[in-house]
Structure 1
Amino acid sequence: MRIAFFTETFLPKVDGIVTRLTKTVQHLVAAGDEVIVFCPEGAPDSFMGARVVGVPAMPLPLYPELKLALPRPAVAEALEGFAPDLVHVVNPAVLGLGGIWLARTNDLPLVASYHTHLPKYLEHYGMGMLEPLLWELLKAAHNQAVLNLCTSTAMVEELSEKGIQHTALWQRGVDTDLFRPQLRSQATRLRLLGDHSDSNALLLYIGRLSAEKQIERIRPVLEAIPEARLALVGDGPHRQQLERVFAGTPTTFVGYLAGEELASAYASADAFLFPSSTETLGLVLLEAMAAGCPVVGANRGGIPDIVSDGSNGCLYEPDEPDSLVRATRRLLGDEAERQGLRSAARQEAERWGWAAATDQLRGYYRSVLSRSLSLAA
């Protein structure tokens, strides 16, 4: 198959969407497919055998890490030269809308996927009143597609309820070779602790430092559990605000980590806290679980698809003020239970390899192409 991706998010950015896309491209190419990726400029010209076409882009004012790329004639020319069998638009925004238009113009089967719960982000940027309008725009874009893929059952249900048609689940994936418990390291632990003493209660957050991640909710945990230490790995537009929020607490701002350094960070912590209630999946939770780090996540969105409360991790209720504190205390309170959660978390992660997720995606592609051929006959 010849597949053209349009995405607003790609390398060198670091997030769960980029991880899923890069792993998907890698496995598609390994399976013999030809791939081209249209994305904001700044990415390499090729990746794992796929051609990458960078498109001039401008930063989104409220979220400078995200860039809006405006489609131009060179995109249409490159797409026509590649002659794809189908177009896959990831999180359609400005460039994605161009991909939708080009797919329709060239009579190409269109697949779209939903990864970022943008309507729920709006309230964290003081624009909650725009949520109904954004849903209408998303519905208009996604309903151009033959198939709309979601990364959790909760998102399949919510998009269907909002009027988005032809939804299906694109199963989760994680690199269990990279993220593994054996990378637990005292040197990494000391780096995460910064200048703070080791109290056997090292809490970890990994991800974007942005308003919608609700990282401020961890501050009461540090106040309620004085022996706890916190490491925040990642960066983003909310970092300066968070530095003020966590001033005076035993918190280390580590910055970005990648590769085995990142995997070792997961493996070296005592608990992974992920307070966000806006996640369509929460890939970092799977990475933490693969590394054998006990997790606490919100009982919202795609997270309950991953975390079974009391079995392979703990869930907290975002609407209950002390729920995150209670869940963290429960996880830290019993060493034997925590070791059981570590083992169960790793076992859950081992069920979800990227190869299987990409095989499922290729099956969806084949189904879409067969349907298109049937309609053309």
Structure 2
Amino acid sequence: MRVAVVTESFLPQVNGVTNTVGRILEHLAAHGHDALVVAPRPGPSVYAGFPVVAVPGVGLPGYREFKLGLPTRRVERLLREFGPDLVHLASPIALGAAGARAARRLGVPCVAVFQTDVAGFARAYGFRGTDAMIWSWIRHIHRQADITLVPSRASYEQLSAQGVPRLALWARGVDAARFNPAHRDQTLREWLLGDREVLVGYVGRLAGDKRVHLLACLADLPKVRIVAVGDGPAAPSLRALIPSAALPGFLSGQALSAAYASLDVFVHTGADDTFGQCVQEAMASGVPVVAPAVGGPLDLVRHEHTGLLFAPDDTDELRRRVAELVASPALRARYGAKAREAVLTRSWASVCDELLGHYSQVLTGRRPLEHALG
């Protein structure tokens, strides 16, 4: 089949949307399908053997590094020339809206993937009172899709309450070989630890919407060295806020695998995550997770089994949860082993096969099954 992927984010931006689109394209290539990618510039011209067409993008206020694709009329022309059997909208906001409109005008089925809590993102950057307007726009886009795939039960309930129809759950995969306890690196640990004994870390974008400043409440825990892996606009303020923290910057490949596996405790600080891929990667690495009891992490972290949950805005509880794990190597080991066990079946191959099943339903004209939440 021929799939046109219109994505709000792609390389060189590294985030959940980019990562998911990359895995989808690799799966399509491996199974002999054809694809076209439309994404904001700058970016590669080819990925997984498929052409990537870049359209103009604009940096967001307060986060200029994040480029939002502009909904140009060129999108419809590109899709018409490619002749897709199906249009895939990855986290549609602006460029995705143009993709939805083009699919409708061309009479092509459309699958939308909800992946970004835009209203929560806007609030994090000071745009208060915009929720109603944002949700109206999201409804407008997703009502044009034959199906909207959501990554977690929390997102399903959120979109259902907002009147978005034809919803189905579609989670994310994890590479259990790449993210594996075997990558634990004692030399790296010694370098990061210095005179401390326990590494408590975060991996992801260092940005306001990820609330990385909450790590500061853990900095004076006895024996603890805070590690924040990643880059973003909040890096300078985080470095000033926690001078004792280790901030190795953006890591990829083997360095990222080693960083995850070398942690003793993983702390997820964001409260607006629709899934929480970094949580799943930490779990695959055999690291117990402390995460807010909201959004995507609720589907991933089983409290007092694979990790611990805390009330999203309660820094005292966050501190207590982390301190509990810091004090008990045996508890860390037990939760870490259970965490890895919990995600071993979530391969990208199986997840992308499930996506192809959704494509098939849409292409054959069958009404997609809406997953009921139990």
1:34-68 alpha-carbon deviations (Å, 9 max, x no partner): 11110012222111122211112221222212212
Q: Structure 1 stretch 79-88 or stretch 182-191: which is displaced more?
A: 182-191
Distance 1:200 1:226 in 2: 9
The alignment status of 1:241 with 2:234, answered yes or no, reads no
| 1:297 pairs with one of 273, 278, 291 | 291
Distance 2:272 2:192 in 1: 26
Distance 1:81 1:363 in 2: 26
1:305-359 alpha-carbon deviations (Å, 9 max, x no partner): 0000111111111233311011101222221121111111111121200001001
The alignment status of 1:265 with 2:262, answered yes or no, reads no
| 1:317 pairs with one of 297, 311, 315 | 311
What SS is found at the alignment partner of 2:54? strand
Q: Is the 8 A contact 1:200 1:270 kept in 2?
A: no
In structure 2, do the counterparts of structure 1 residues 71 and 121 end up closer, same or farther at CA, with 3 Å as the change threshold? closer
What SS is found at the alignment partner of 1:344? helix
Distance 1:284 1:239 in 2: 18
Q: Is the 8 A contact 2:9 2:68 kept in 1?
A: no
Structure 1 residue 373 displacement after superposition: 10
Distance 1:103 1:144 in 2: 9
In structure 2, do the counterparts of structure 1 residues 354 and 326 end up closer, same or farther at CA, with 3 Å as the change threshold? same
Q: Is the 8 A contact 1:88 1:111 kept in 2?
A: yes
In structure 1, runs of 5+ residues without a counterpart are none
The alignment status of 1:104 with 2:104, answered yes or no, reads yes
- What residue is the counterpart of 2:181 in the other structure? 181
- What residue is the counterpart of 2:343 in the other structure? 349
- What residue is the counterpart of 2:358 in the other structure? 364
* Equivalent residue runs for 1:158-169 within 5 Å: 158-169=158-169
What SS is found at the alignment partner of 2:129? helix
Structure 1 residue 29 displacement after superposition: 1.5
In structure 2, do the counterparts of structure 1 residues 63 and 301 end up closer, same or farther at CA, with 3 Å as the change threshold? same
- What residue is the counterpart of 2:331 in the other structure? 337
What SS is found at the alignment partner of 2:102? helix
What SS is found at the alignment partner of 1:357? helix
Q: Is the 8 A contact 1:311 1:344 kept in 2?
A: yes
Distance 2:242 2:325 in 1: 22
In structure 2, do the counterparts of structure 1 residues 190 and 36 end up closer, same or farther at CA, with 3 Å as the change threshold? farther
Distance 1:15 1:52 in 2: 18
| Identity among equivalent pairs (%) | 36
The AA in structure 2 aligned to 1:327 is: R
What SS is found at the alignment partner of 2:19? helix
Structure 1 residue 77 displacement after superposition: 3.2
- What residue is the counterpart of 1:204 in the other structure? 201
In structure 2, do the counterparts of structure 1 residues 133 and 74 end up closer, same or farther at CA, with 3 Å as the change threshold? closer
What SS is found at the alignment partner of 1:129? coil
In structure 2, do the counterparts of structure 1 residues 70 and 127 end up closer, same or farther at CA, with 3 Å as the change threshold? closer
The AA in structure 1 aligned to 2:150 is: C
In structure 2, do the counterparts of structure 1 residues 107 and 299 end up closer, same or farther at CA, with 3 Å as the change threshold? same
The AA in structure 1 aligned to 2:154 is: A
- Off by >6 Å, runs of 4+ in structure 1: none
Distance 1:99 1:27 in 2: 22
Total equivalences in the alignment = 368
- What residue is the counterpart of 1:230 in the other structure? 226
Pairwise CA RMSD? 1.7
What SS is found at the alignment partner of 1:81? helix
What SS is found at the alignment partner of 1:371? coil
In structure 2, runs of 5+ residues without a counterpart are 369-374
The AA in structure 1 aligned to 2:168 is: A
Distance 2:170 2:288 in 1: 25
What SS is found at the alignment partner of 2:304? coil
Distance 1:321 1:190 in 2: 28
Structure 1 residue 280 displacement after superposition: 0.3
- What residue is the counterpart of 1:55 in the other structure? 55
Distance 1:149 1:63 in 2: 27
What SS is found at the alignment partner of 2:149? strand
Distance 1:140 1:8 in 2: 16
TM-score, structure 1 as length reference:
0.94
Distance 1:163 1:73 in 2: 28
Structure 1 residue 267 displacement after superposition: 0.5
